Structure 1
Amino acid sequence: MPGSTNLPGIERYPNTDIVRYGEGEKVNYPLVASTIKKVNGVVRADEEQRLDGAWRRVIYLMPDGHGSDVGFRYFSDRLEKLSVKTLHSCEGRHCGPSNLWANKVFEEANLYGLDKDQFYLLGARTVDSHTEYYVLYTVRRGNKRVYAMLDQLIVDGVQERRVSPIASGFEGGLNASRKEHYWDVAVEPETGTIARQAIDKILAHLQQDSTTTILLAGSVPLDRDLKLDQQIERSQQYAQALKDRLIEENVANERLFVIGTGPLLQETATNAMPFVRVMRVQ
C-alpha cells in the first residue's frame, strides 16, 4: 500500500501485505480491557479507558495457510521484545462478538470474522515522558482470509494506566475489582485442547512469585441431557487436563488445586462454552 509502513520496531510477518494504514491525532480512542457485549442495544465493556493521542494503525493480510493464532503469537512476541506490558488479552469467544470489535470498536468492517478465531491484546510501555499503548487484534474471516491489526497510541505524559489488568491476573490490591484476581482460559469444545499462549500466561504468573498457588475451576455449559454430577465430572476433567499440562512444564503439584463446577460459573461468562477459571489461592 503506497505510503504505508510498519510500526517502529515491529517487523511485519513474512509475506504479509499491508491493506490498511492510517495515522493522525485521535480523540477519545477506546482502550478496552475486558469482554465487549451489547446490553439493551448498547455496546459496552466493563473495563475501558478513552484517551487522546498520536495514532497509527496497520492492518496486514496474512499469507494463505497462516492462522490468526500464528499471527497473534508473532506480533505479541514483538511487542514483548519492546518491553510492552500486557494489560489485557483474550481469545476466541471470551473476547465477545467479533462484529462488535470490528464495527463498533475498531470501525473496520474487514476485521469482522469468526468469534472462535479471534485474538486480542492491549499493552503499554513508558518511553521518556510519554506512554505508548498498543492494540493487537487478529481474526480469521469466513472466507478464510486472516487479518492482523496493530494500533499504536502515543499519549503525552506518563499515564497511571487506569485500565485494569484483568487478564494479567494477580496485580490488583485489596481494593481491586474481583475480576483482577482471575481470568478464564478457553477450552476447545471438540478436542478439549488449550492454547499454548494460555499455558504460557499461567507459567509467567507462577514464576513471578514462588509462593503463589492457584485454583483451576473447570466449567461447562448447561446440558439438560446430562445429570449434574456428570457435568461436574466433565468440568473437572478439563481442569485436571490443564493441571497436567502445567505439571509437564515443571510446576509443582502442591501449587495447583482442581475443582469441577459443572455449569455454575457459566452465569458469569459471556458465552456458553467450556473454560477453566484460573484463580489465585494465595
Structure 2
Amino acid sequence: MRLSTFCCLLLAGSSLLAADLPDGHDHEVLPRFPQAEIVESSQGDAERRYPLGGIQRISGRLRYEREVLAEGWLSATTYRLPVGHLAAEAFAQARESLLRQGAELLYWCDGRDCGSSSLWANTVFGNARLYGPDERQAFALLRLAAPRRDSLLALYAITRGNRRDYLHVERLDAAAALGELLPTPATLLRQLRTDGQLLLPALSGEPGAAWVDVLARSLMLDSTLRVALAGAQASAWRGALIERGVRAARLELDETAVDGLRLSRLP
C-alpha cells in the first residue's frame, strides 16, 4: 500500500472517531452499527415509563395501553447512522443481537402501530431529535438475560423527514427487582411471523397460567397460524394451550431437544 493511501485511510478513520461526542458511550451488550456516530449521550439516575402498547394523547393526557415503570441507573445513547443505511436495518440488527444473547422481548411495535412519533421523542425519551414520520419508526423493549434480569434495554429507530436515520438505545439498571414481566400477545405474534420461531428459555418447567394465557392470546390473533412446540415439557404446554382454546390441529410436537420452550411457525 502506498504511503499516501495509508495516510488518507488513517485520516478518514480519525474523522469518524472525532465525530462522536467527547463523552459518548456505547453499550456493552450491543455492538455499534458500523460507522454510526454518537450524537447524544447521557448517564445518571432516572425514572422511566416505557409503554407496552401504542401511545396517544387524549384530552391533554397521555394514554398507555400498558407500561413498565422503573427507576435506576439510566444510560442513553443516540446514534446517527451512515448515509445509505436505514434505521430499520440498524434496529433489526440490534434486536437480533440481543435475542441471541438470551434477552426477552417484552414489546415490539412498528410504524403507525407505535402511535405518535412526537410523543415517543418528546415525552418518552425527552429527545426532539428522534421525531419523524409515524410510519418510519420502530420501538422494542427487552429484558436482559441473567445475571442482568433487572435491566431493561429500549431501542427506538426513526427515519426523520430529512431522510437522516437514527437509532436510540437506553439501558436502565433498575434499583429494585422488576418481578415478572410478560410480553404482549401482539409482540409474540410479530416475532413468530418475522423470525419464524419463539425461543423461550425461561419456560422449561410445567405450564404456568400467566404464560399459557399470553401464548394462547397471541395464537388467537391469527387463527391460520400453525406451530410446532419443542422442549422437555412441550406436550404439557400443548395440552394447556388446547384447554385455553387453541385448536389442537394448530399445535404439533417437535422432538428436537431445546432449552425451555420453542414455538416454530409451520408452513
Give TM-score scaled by structure 2 length: 0.65
> What CA distance in whole angstroms lies between the structure 2 residues aligned with 1:130 and 1:119?
23
Which residue, 54, 63, 76 being the options, matches 1:35? Answer: 54
Name the residue aligned to 2:245.
none
The answer to whether residue 88 in structure 2 is matched with residue 95 in structure 1 is no
| Secondary structure of residue in 1 paired with 2:151 | strand
Mark the structure with the bigger radius of gyration: 2
Instruction: Specify every segment of 5 or more residues in structure 1 that has no aligned partner in the other structure, as ranges.
Output: 170-182, 186-196, 218-238, 248-253, 257-282
1:95-124 residue CA offsets vs partner (Å, 9 max, x unmatched): 001011001111100000111110100111
Q: Which residue of 1 aligns with 2:97?
A: 78
- The match for 1:63 is 82
1:9-20 matches, cutoff 5 A: 9-20=29-40
Equivalence for 1:204: 197
Task: Render the CA deviation track for 1:212-256: whole Å, top value 9, x for unaligned.
Answer: 865637xxxxxxxxxxxxxxxxxxxxx9xxx7xx99xxxxxx639
How many equivalent pairs are there?
Answer: 196
Matched residue SS, 1:168? helix
**Is residue 216 from structure 1 mapped to residue 236 from structure 2 by the alignment?**
no
Residue identity (%): 26
Indicate conservation of the 8 Å contact 1:34/1:166, yes or no.
no
Structure 2 match to 1:107? 126
Aligned CA distance change for structure 1 residues 55 and 255 (closer, same or farther; 3 Å): same
1:160-199 mapped onto 2 (5 Å cutoff):
160-162=179-181, 165-169=184-188, 199=193
- Given that residues 106 and 181 in structure 2 are in contact (C-alpha distance below 8 angstroms), is that contact kept between their aligned partners in structure 1? no
Note closer, same or farther for the CA distance 1:164–1:82 as it changes in structure 2 (3 Å cut): closer
Alignment of 1:54 onto 2:49: no
Q: Distance in 1 between matches of 2:40 and 2:109?
A: 24
Counterpart code for 2:112:
R
The structural deviation recorded for 1:74 is 1.1
CA deviations 1:135-182 (Å, max 9, x no partner) are 00000000000000000000134321446534334xxxxxxxxxxxxx
How far is the alpha carbon of 1:129 from its aligned partner?
7.3
Q: How much has 1:29 moved relative to structure 2?
A: 1.1
2: CA distance, partners of 1:152 / 1:158: 15
Aligned AA for 1:74?
Q
Q: Contact between 2:101 and 2:145, CA under 8 Å: does it hold in 1?
A: no
Deviation per CA, 1:10-60, whole angstroms, max 9, x where unpaired? Answer: 11100110000100111x311211100111111121101221101100100
1:258-277 correspondence runs (5 A): none
Distance 1:76 1:129 in 2: 17
Q: TM-score, normalised by structure 1?
A: 0.62
Cα distance change of structure 1 residues 198 and 59 upon mapping to structure 2, 3 Å threshold: farther
> What is the CA distance between 1:127 and its match in structure 2?
3.7
**Aligned partner (choices 91, 115, 121) of residue 140 of structure 2:** 121
**Displacement, 1:205?**
4.3
Name the amino acid aligned to 2:250: R
The one-letter code sitting in structure 1 at the alignment partner of 2:26 is N
Whether 1:255 and 2:250 are equivalent positions in the alignment is: yes
Q: 2: CA distance between counterparts of 1:10 and 1:160?
A: 24
The alpha-carbon distance between structure 1 residues 19 and 161, as it changes in their structure 2 partners (threshold 3 A), is: farther
Provide the alpha-carbon RMSD of the alignment. Answer: 3.0
1:16 corresponds to which letter in structure 2?
A
Alpha-carbon distance in structure 2 between the residues aligned to 1:107 and 1:91: 20
CA distance in 1, matches of 2:127, 2:75: 14
Matched, 1:6 2:1: no
State the SS of the aligned residue for 2:153.
Answer: strand
